[in-house]
Structure formats: structure tokens, C-alpha cells
Amino acid sequence: MTQDPSQRRGAADRGLGQFRATADGGQPFDTPTRTPRLLLRDRGDESTGVDGAWWPRTGNLTTELHNLVTALTPRLGTTTRITFDWNSLSRSQRRIDPPDGIEVTGPLPDQPADLMYVYGPHDQRLRLLVIDPSTDPSHAEARIRKAVGTTTDQPQS
């Protein structure tokens, strides 16, 4: 019995990882393959130096950049630049390519090693505390909530 070709669509057929600009001006990425472990401060909340916290799943942070950018697009708009103190693995296996339209660079002078700056239109910037992927889950959650000014008693937004 042969299967209908329309039912055998794989990742290549869906265009995962390929450049595809969207009509609304969002990043040209497909829906995230995994939801990033990310918590952002509410808009308008007074910042204590960070706008959110991200706890990547792997030491190669660049493998998760498309998912992170997609999650930040509703808040930031189109991402134009990301600055961070990348580790050697991330530098050698970058997953952002020139057609993605994002400049990926090292840290700015005086940029803390654990902060990632993600820029949108007109140099709008989000400062994300990056939690080491090997951090114990309860400790990581506590650091994330402290960074964005929530406690475990408050519901997550």
C-alpha cells in the first residue's frame, strides 16, 4: 500500500531552519522546536539591571538562538543584534547565518559575562541574565525569579 505523499511530510518539507521572511516583519524563523526557558519582566516594570532571564538547555547557546529570538519577537520586534561573551563551542557552531539578518558579536565593553544583550529596531535592548545550563533546576528557577523580581508565591506570567 502506498502512502499519500502529502502525509509523508518531513522536516525538510516544512522548511525548518530555512530563511523565510514573514509578512508581519517578524524574524524569518519557524515556530520554535522547543519553548525556551525564559522569563521576562512585565512591560513597564522597573528594571534592576535585567529585563529577563534565560536558562538554555545546552552549553552551545547558539543552537537555541532561533527559538529564543522567536520567543522575544512579540516583545522586541525583529532582532537585529545579539552581544554576548560566547564560549568556544558556541562560536564554532553558530546557528545564525547572514540571511537571518542578525549581527552576532562578542560582548560590549563593560558588558557582564552572564548578560546577553538582544537588540531590536531603533537599538531597543533587552538584557537577559543567562543561567548556566548545568545549574540545578531549583537553583536556576530561584535565580530566574530573583532576576525578574518575582517570588515563588506569585503566579508566573
Residue pair 127/114 in contact (Cβ under 8 Å)? The answer is no
DSSP-derived secondary structure letter, 127:
E
Torsions phi, psi of 28, nearest 5?
A: -85, 50
Question: In sequence order, what are the residues at sequence separation of 6 or more whose Cβ sits closer than 8 angstroms to the Cβ of residue 126?
Answer: 40, 51, 52, 72, 75, 76, 117, 118, 120
Spatial distance between the Cα atoms of 97 and 65, rounded to a whole number of angstroms: 11
pLDDT at 150: 76
Q: Which residues of the chain have pLDDT under 50?
A: 1-21, 23-25, 153-157
- pTM here is 0.74
Q: In this predicted structure, what is the pLDDT of residue 3?
A: 42
Q: Given its phi and psi angles, is residue 17 left (phi above 0), alpha (psi -120 to 50 degrees) or beta? A: left
Convert the pLDDT of each residue in 124-137 to its tens digit: 999 999 999 999 99
